[in-house]
Amino acid sequence: MSATVPTSSITTSGRVVRAALIIFPFGTIILGIASFGFWWVKRVQVEERSYSYATALRRDMTPTALERYVSIFKDVLQLPEVERLPSVASFAESSMSSDNMGYEPRRDRFFSGSQEVSNVDAEMAGAQRLREVRLILVVYGDQARAQAESHALGGMMSLANAMAGKRAEDTLRFAAVPMGVKDPSGRSALERFAFGMANRGERLMKVTLLGGAGEQVLSDVSLAFRTAQTGAVVESIPETLDTTATLAAMTALKKNFELAPQ
């Protein structure tokens, strides 16, 4: 004769199983939430340290500092073609590095034919709307405009240093992009840069072109960033050819950014 299992034992076992089915998934959810919370707090702490460090490296724009940047870019833009574009990218990346300005520059290297070239950008991520981007852009590589380009690049470096650690609601990004080159897929450097932003799910709000970009460059920028579809604003700052004019233009631009509604 088979033994009879007490009804109370079955009931108790069933309750334990049901409780486990409810509690264990709930516990997993709580652990997941807790893990995310710990990760987020740690990330915020790291970001705050980064902003504090960048703030410590912030430097006011001065004629001496600006002249140094302009002088170096002027020399670099006179190098042989095979060295010119890579050297501009290298100096821009180095100047905005964590050791010098507190940024974490991004350098996108690619080949245009047999030559390696790069897009370089650095940013101060937004506190709330980090995917909304205001872009300070210098397009360079036209030897006929070397004087204007050296001032545009030097002005951008001075502005980036003066804005280091100044965190806004949206992201402020500085970028140097070579012209007249294409990646292996046939995209221009500007199109490649715009594609990277779109691929990251970013929304371009405004592009400020330094150096007095001509109509063709303005058209290329509008097409690359699809401004007709997105509504992004494109503005061009007139070229400057001396320290006084460049410093005045960058000072005015800095003031506009600081006063812009967030």
The confidence band for 8, taking pLDDT boundaries of 50, 70 and 90, is low
Statement to judge: residues 71 and 43 lie in one domain: no
Report if residue 240 sits inside a domain.
Answer: yes
The total of structural domains in the chain comes to 2
Report if residue 76 sits inside a domain.
Answer: yes
Statement to judge: residues 32 and 105 lie in one domain: no
- Whichever domain contains 201, its CATH number is 3.40.630.10
Statement to judge: residues 38 and 49 lie in one domain: yes
Domain of 105 in residue numbering reads as: 60-259
Statement to judge: residues 78 and 15 lie in one domain: no
Report if residue 15 sits inside a domain.
Answer: yes
As a residue count, the chain comes to 262
Statement to judge: residues 148 and 188 lie in one domain: yes
Q: Is 217 helix (H, G, I), strand (E, B) or coil?
A: helix
Q: How far apart are CA 147 and CA 152, in angstroms?
A: 9
Statement to judge: residues 195 and 70 lie in one domain: yes
Q: Of 123-132, 152-161, 216-225, where does mean pLDDT reach its minimum? A: 123-132
pLDDT tens-digit readout, 196-209:
999 999 999 999 99
Beta bridge partners of 129: 170
What is the average per-residue pLDDT within 213-217?
A: 89
Statement to judge: residues 72 and 153 lie in one domain: yes
Report if residue 211 sits inside a domain.
Answer: yes
Task: Mark residue 158 as left, alpha or beta (left: phi above 0; alpha: psi -120 to 50; beta: remaining).
Answer: alpha
Report if residue 67 sits inside a domain.
Answer: yes
Report if residue 204 sits inside a domain.
Answer: yes
Among candidate residues 147, 121, 152, 122, the one with its CA nearest the CA of residue 236: 152
Distance between terminal CA atoms of the chain? 82
pLDDT tens-digit readout, 19-76:
655 665 655 555 555 554 554 444 444 455 456 766 788 899 999 999 999 999 999 9
Statement to judge: residues 40 and 109 lie in one domain: no
Whether the pLDDT of residue 148 is over 80: the answer is yes
Give the C-alpha distances (Å, rounded to integers) separating 85 from 49, 146, 212, 239. Answer: 33, 12, 19, 20
Statement to judge: residues 38 and 139 lie in one domain: no
Statement to judge: residues 244 and 208 lie in one domain: yes
Statement to judge: residues 109 and 185 lie in one domain: yes
Statement to judge: residues 203 and 119 lie in one domain: yes
